[in-house]
Amino acid sequence: MVARPPLLVPLLALAGFLVLLAVTVAGWAPPDRFDTAVSDAFRGYGDASPRLVDGLRIATDVAATIPFLVAGLAVAVGLAVRGRRRAAAFVAGVTVLVPVLWGLMHWLVHHPRPEDGFVVITSNGFPSGHTSNAAAAALVAVLLLWHRLGGPARLLTVGLAVAFALFVGLTRVALLAHWPTDVLGGWLLALAVVPLAARIARTPAAAGAARPADRHPDRAAR
């Protein structure tokens, strides 16, 4: 069973993403100034802490595209083998769709990354792919486990998921691989796509055809 967040959650995230996309394409000055100020602060800190930068270069790749695809497809296959076909389709769909969407944005939206970053990447940067992957993986884990966990375990799972998504996003800013608005776009993209995919991947009981007795209550009463 895959938990389904309220429809308002992905709709608000999608609206926020579209607004941020419009602001990015327009090159509005206030977000640009914010991006520059934050990146300059991280540049100074990174220059003074080369060992931390080396560690972040390694840690951030946990959310690179190849690990994300391998892990997602492995989970999808495992769920399918266990007979959880709708959950498997949900995971597989998210695993493929999220990289396709942010990759398409990188291709269509001209938004260069910070210059002279601590990692060398030449593609456009909106939204952050690593951040989208991390947030999507975190959301998938929460939605898959939600109905199988009790209250304290749910809180712990949500806390770990949020921490993971935040950590990866912050590494992208700290390494000057992305502007802060790129990272925010990655979070919003995942928050829009994953809950919508979860709502499509309905539970077998809800998605299956109604039983004969449900379709003909008068017959069931006889």
Measured between its terminal Cα atoms, the distance across the chain in Å is 33
60 Cα distance to chain centroid: 14
**pLDDT given at position 216:** 43
Residues 12-30 have a mean pLDDT of: 96
Give the model's confidence band at 151: pLDDT under 50 very low, under 70 low, under 90 confident, else very high.
confident
Q: Residue 181 — very low, low, confident or very high, per pLDDT cuts 50/70/90?
A: very high
Pick the CATH number of 8-203 from 3.30.70, 3.30.410, 1.20.144, 1.25.10: 1.20.144
pTM of the model: 0.89
AA identity, residue 45: Y
Q: How far is CA 28 from the centre of its chain?
A: 25
Residue 212 has a pLDDT of 42
For the stretch 40-98, pLDDT in tens is 999 999 999 999 999 999 999 999 999 999 999 999 999 999 999 999 999 999 999 99
Residue 19: the pLDDT is: 97
Mean pLDDT along residues 149-168: 95
pLDDT at 206: 43
Confidence label for 211 from pLDDT (cuts 50, 70 and 90): very low
Residue owning tokens 């429809």: 7
Q: With 80 as the cut, is the pLDDT of residue 186 above it?
A: yes
Mean pLDDT of 8-15: 97
Domain boundaries, the chain: 8-203
Q: What is the mean pLDDT of residues 7-28?
A: 96
- pLDDT band (50, 70, 90) for residue 201: confident
Q: How far apart are CA 88 and CA 218, in angstroms?
A: 37
pLDDT of residue 1: 79
Give percent of the chain with pLDDT exceeding 70: 91
Of the chain, the percentage scoring pLDDT greater than 90 comes to: 85
Alpha helices in the chain (DSSP H): 8-26, 29-48, 50-60, 65-81, 85-108, 129-145, 151-174, 180-200, 204-207, 212-215, 217-221
Kindly report the average pLDDT of the chain as a whole number: 91
CA–CA distance, 47 with 149 (Å, rounded to integer): 44
